[in-house]
Amino acid sequence: MELISENRAFGGRHCRYRHTSKVNQCDMTFAIYLPPFASQQTPVPVLYWLSGLTCTDENFMQKAGAMKLAARLGLAIVAPDTSPRGDDVADDPAGAYDLGLGAGFYVDATQSPWQQHYQMYSYVTEELPELVESAFPVTRERAISGHSMGGHGALVVALRQPQRYVSVSAFSPIANPTKCPWGNKAFSAYLGGAPEQWSDYDASMLLAKQRYSLPILVEQGGNDQFLTEQLKPETLLCSARTSSTQLTLNMHEGYDHSYFFIASFIDEHLEFHASHLGLL
């Protein structure tokens, strides 16, 4: 790994690293926050944060205001980039923000030209945790969260591999991507085929199939400009009722899709995960 930058924050360390990804066949960047007392003698659990469209590893770390409470709780935070990047990595030919660079959607692409590099599901579930757990003073106890496209990713990852995560939460997730324009565009390109073949990457469809004991918390702003057309949080509630899974969805009137919303409620999510990780 190559250290890109390091900053002291609330007694801990925020670091950005670049490394060569085997699954994505390119260099990837991620950020990690280690709380003050994290050490080989006292390893700490990890919250993985998956960011949304157009974001990088930097957005959450700089805008969410999560590190102060994470330092007190003894919780590490890892934020990967949202897609592979590089001169050889495929991008939307029209330069659209919702496909290609910055828009990996946390899937393993099967279609050309995306499949060579866009293996983000395998990256965030296997390669990145293995790297983090081998290089830093952290335990194998993991929680996961995310925003928008990253909220979709966090829910899908946790529902597909609930044994790997203690808890999952999401802010403004794309809850039913097979039924919204963002999801249809991305999945058509990355996965090909028809919408009924994309169910493994649709949190609402996964949630309806079986009962989960995994703690699930979702936050949604009532003034979110993408609420009706793209996000559809009501599908999560419907699916949870179908499978008798406990899911908490908090609606907040007046809040939008921005990091102002995330920063307003990130402490509640950190405490939610900390309680299930045994830190409270």
Residues classed as catalytic = 148, 224, 257
How many angstroms separate the CA atoms of 69 and 122, rounded?
A: 29
Enumerate the H helices of 174-216 as residue ranges: 181-191, 203-209
Residue 76: strand pairing partners: 46
How many angstroms separate the CA atoms of 8 and 127, rounded?
A: 27
Largest CA distance in the chain: 51
Q: In degrees to the nearest 10, what's the CA dihedral of 136, 34, 118, 180?
A: 150
The SS3 of residue 218 is strand
Helices and strands per DSSP (H, E), number in the chain: 9, 9
How many angstroms separate the CA atoms of 228 and 51, rounded?
A: 20
